[in-house]
Amino acid sequence: MSEAPAKRRQVIKGIDASGPYPVEYRFAHAPNAERHLVIVLAGLDDPDGYGWATGEMDDLPANILWIRDRFDGGSASYLCRDMDFGVEKSVAEVVARVTELLGLHRAEVTLWGSGRGGSAALHLGLKHGYGNIVAVGPEFALGSPLRERRPAAARHLLGEPMADEDARALDALLPDLLASSVHPQTHLYVFPPADDEPDAGREMCLGLLRQYRNADLVHETFPLLNLAHMLVAGLVPRLTAAPRAEGRPSAGLPGIGSYLKSTSVVQGSFAAPVVLSPGPDDLLSATGVRLVGRAPGAVRVSLWENGTYLASAPVTQDGDWSWTRRTWTPGEHNVRLFAVDALGYQSPRADAQFTVSDHLTPEVVPTRPGAAPPVVQRPEPYLQVPGARVGFTGFATGAARVGIRENGAVLGECAVAPDGAWSWAPEGPWAGGPHTVEVFSIGAADTESRPVAVTFTAES
């Protein structure tokens, strides 16, 4: 999924789920293929878990990777969840992977963050030896002060019961890293927190920072974006050349384009939600319009109209979803919707089209008993099967026919034998790749059962 921010950058959204924790990101290519990468890390209060993501960096001639600080629904400060440092490992792997796929050396990377994002920039940048770090108002003790000031945020990192030893372990991360003098060649630009209260721990860390030969403690009045442009250009405020490594990384990597496609937040293999009701020709009352559909494999369906978010409808374990809005304006409506799975990946979009009239009254539709759902014996779910030979067999007690559909389109029907057995095969081979097919019973009065979803992968 991509979006165009206020200026000229195209921003690509993705989720890298290869590590212990899924990492959500936004990426923008350098306007003219300039050789630099800026990693932007968010603070606790940055909107939607992204920092500096509202157009401030659009003129920066660099590749930009924003990493979202939302893990299991809350801020982990890019460190841990319940003291599980798989969060840090996942983030570090994404930063290293994008750097490598862009063909850059670590000297050509700047980590940038404010508040807890600045702390994360210091931690990740020094631990892994990236070229530049810009930390605006970083916190140096990452456990105890957070537990005292913002216990809900601390609980997400520390877990219950927020033990003292765990808080002290987080407090020691940055001081111990700075004391080790690791990667002394890194260029450090630290804007100390604007706090007049004496803090021995902070003063100790600032003293350790001064031991780095390329460290600058910068006044908060220094223009931050000017500093960003200098670093991207390979300069530092003293106008000395930044180090560049010789040679290039080894060839044969799939490239950043393949990575962005494979980790895109919108996955073509994830079926779009099916809208069963209302239909495109339906004329409905302005009150009580109910949207009903199917989204197997999803946890929720997100609904939008004219670019405005309407609601999020939960999906049951059986794949059913529904949503009712009390009142609608008269006229034609086109509700765009997509499914979202447990990792946050999105399906392609689907549309629910209908017309609303304020001259109608809601009809009461009598309920009719539906047919029992069918039993599908073959194919077994989640198998990889030859695409030319995928047929369906099973039982459908009390049904007259069984129907097959995919992505809302009916593929065919078959009769049910007196003993309840049925079988169906497509007229041609299946397209290679994943398929989610719905099988439903049809009763004597043409009533449909709840569909049963079968997912398989056809070999091309």
Domains of the chain in sequence order? 2-262 (3.40.50.1820), 274-357 (2.60.40.10), 375-459 (2.60.40.10)
Among 404, 364, 407, 398, smallest CA distance to 270 is for 407
- H helices present in 17-102, as ranges: 86-101
Top pLDDT among 237 and 8 is at 8
63/380: higher pLDDT: 63
Q: Bridge partners of 323?
A: 291
Q: Where are the beta strands (DSSP E) in 72-202?
A: 109-114, 132-136, 187-191
When mean pLDDT is compared over 27-31, 67-71, 309-313, 419-423, the highest value belongs to 67-71
End-to-end CA distance of the chain: give it in Å, rounded: 27
- Whether the link from the prior residue into 379 is cis, omega within 30° of 0, is yes
Quick one: pLDDT band at residue 119, thresholds 50, 70, 90?
very high
Q: How many CB atoms lie within 10 A of CB 413?
A: 16
For residues 303 and 342, what is the distance between their CA atoms, to the nearest angstrom?
A: 17
Cβ pair 114, 107 in contact under 8 A: no
Question: How many Å is the Cα radius of gyration of the chain?
Answer: 28
Residue 254 is predicted with a pLDDT of 52
Residue 231 near residue 218, CB atoms below 8 Å: no
User: How far apart (Å, rounded) are the C-alpha atoms in residues 299 and 370?
Assistant: 25
pLDDT at 387 over 70: no
If one counts every other C-beta atom within 10 angstroms of the C-beta of residue 17, the result is 15
Q: What is the pLDDT of residues 39-83, one digit of tens each?
A: 999 999 898 899 998 888 888 888 999 999 999 888 999 999 999
pLDDT band at 361 (very low <50, low <70, confident <90, very high): low
- Nearest 5°: the CA angle 144, 148, 152 is 100
Q: Could you tell me how many residues make up the chain?
A: 460
For 353, which DSSP code? E
C-alpha dihedral sign at 47, 48, 50, 54: negative
| Cut 0.85: pTM above it | no
Residue 4 has pLDDT above 50, yes or no: no
Q: Provide CB contacts within 8 A for 259, sequence distance 6+.
A: 97, 98, 101
Strand partners, 333: 354
Q: How far is it, in rounded angstroms, from Cα 73 to Cα 102?
A: 30
Is the pLDDT confidence value at 130 over 70?
Answer: yes
Span 159-179, pLDDT tens digits:
998 999 999 999 999 999 999
Residue 284's pLDDT band, with cuts at 50, 70 and 90, is: confident
Residue 250 has what pLDDT? 38
* Mean pLDDT computed over 206-223: 84
